[in-house]
Copies of this chain bind each other. A is one copy, B any other.
Amino acid sequence: MALTIKDIASKAGCSISTVSAVLSGKAESARISKETAQKVEDICLKLNYKPNMLASSLRKGFTNTIGMVVSDISNSFFIKLANIIEHEVAKQGYQLFIAGSDEDDEKCSKVIDSFVNFRVDGLILAATEGSKNKVAFLNKQKIPLVLLDRYFPGISAHEVVMDNYQSAYDAVSYLIKKGRKRIATFTYTTSMQHMKDRFEGYKSALADHGIRYDKRLTPPIPLFRESNDIIKSHIQTLVEKHNIDSIFFQTNMTALPGLLAISELGYEIPSQLGVFCYHDHDFFNLIKPSITSQHQPLEEMGKACAELILNEIKGEVNTKEKRIFASSYIHERESC
């Protein structure tokens, strides 16, 4: 078994309380003599003592950890955010743990429970569609929580979200200004509000520019599991039967298979088909032609997220539910 504070104490010829005081930097206030402190430290170093956080956290009542649940751990949007948040909270001595829900309600609930069981001090949550109750539960348990990217009408919580409506509106308006008139859009079927907002943005932009909304140009894409072929056949139909001149991809999840499909079908971007993606992506510079997208202020979002959760953990009770809105800007490239 691993070394304990008790082993150190007996090697050093002192009590465990002395060791504890030294190790937690309280040697001064506990009036431990320099020599004793030094001896304890030397022994710990030599024996490579590693404190047991389970015991420590159990006793202290907090863990100095934050759990982050994202829908898709391979989505660069979330990974970049996670990196930023990780650095921010580390500055205050917190460690960030990241887990993915695979956009699955049950798994989302499970990883949240797991974090709660490990008594993380706070949670950052990019929730799944059916997590409303879970969020309500976390609220009731007064577990510090920040919702990221996704939110629920009727649930009040700290939130860091994007201006989904406006970004979509701007994107579609941009396409229209570029002369596109038959604009298809792809998103996955979901009841989540942030996606509804984007869809509304799409519709409003059309309406405001006098273009009739055509439901046939917005085929529903089921979430996950080889929707790639579905997307491909939809694109083919839309081009061949419905004469579209552009596509607005509302998510990474549809954009990446979509771009692949367009390439496989041999459609020319941007001459035959204009493309606009909601999320930016490192690779969009690499692809030829490069892909125009909305660019999200990840730095800003991550920092806001970190600040909100840390404030909540530290019990700044006065901070009433806050919703931070992040706005995007269009990264113009060659695809439309």
Docked CA distance A137–B83 (Å): 28
Interface pair B53/A117, CB less than 8 Å apart: yes
Docked CA distance A58–B54 (Å): 6
Docked CA distance A74–B263 (Å): 25
Tell whether A33 is near chain B: CB-to-CB under 8 Å. no
Binds B, one of A155-163, A285-293, A316-324: A285-293
Tally of this chain's copies: 2
If A256-B286, A263-B286 touch, does A51 touch B98 (CB 8 Å cutoff)?
no
* 9 extra interface residue pairs, beta carbon distance < 8 Å, beyond A58-B58, A283-B283: A2-B119, A51-B117, A52-B117, A54-B63, A54-B119, A74-B76, A97-B97, A287-B288, A288-B288
Give chain A interface residues in 63-80, CB to chain B under 8 Å.
63, 73-74, 76, 79-80
Tell whether A55 is near chain B: CB-to-CB under 8 Å. yes
Tell whether A35 is near chain B: CB-to-CB under 8 Å. no
Give chain A interface residues in 257-313, CB to chain B under 8 Å.
259-260, 263, 282-283, 285-288
Docked CA distance A207–B82 (Å): 45
Smallest CB-CB separation from A86: which chain B residue?
Answer: B100
Instruction: Count residues of chain A with CB under 8 A from any CB of chain B.
Output: 43
- Chain B residues contacting A282 (CB-CB under 8 Å) are 256
* Chain A 38-74 near chain B by CB (<8 Å), digits 1 or 0: 0000000000101111110110010100000000011
Docked CA distance A80–B100 (Å): 12
- Chain B residues contacting A97 (CB-CB under 8 Å) are 97, 99
- Chain B residues contacting A113 (CB-CB under 8 Å) are 50
- Chain B residues contacting A61 (CB-CB under 8 Å) are 1
Interface pair A54/B283, CB less than 8 Å apart: no
A residues apposed to B, CB below 8 Å: 1-2, 48, 50-55, 57-58, 61, 63, 73-74, 76, 79-80, 82-83, 95, 97-100, 113-114, 116-119, 137, 141, 256, 259-260, 263, 282-283, 285-288
A-B residue pairs, 8 tightest by C-beta: A54-B58, A53-B117, A74-B79, A283-B283, A54-B54, A53-B118, A288-B288, A50-B116
A-B contact pairs, 30 of them (CB 8 A): A2-B119, A48-B141, A50-B116, A52-B58, A52-B119, A53-B117, A54-B57, A54-B58, A55-B58, A58-B58, A73-B79, A73-B82, A73-B83, A74-B79, A74-B83, A79-B79, A83-B100, A95-B114, A97-B97, A97-B99, A256-B282, A259-B286, A260-B286, A263-B285, A263-B286, A283-B286, A283-B287, A287-B287, A287-B288, A288-B288
CB of A1, distance to nearest CB on chain B (Å): 8
- Chain B residues contacting A114 (CB-CB under 8 Å) are 95
Interface pair A141/B53, CB less than 8 Å apart: no
Interface pair B288/A117, CB less than 8 Å apart: no
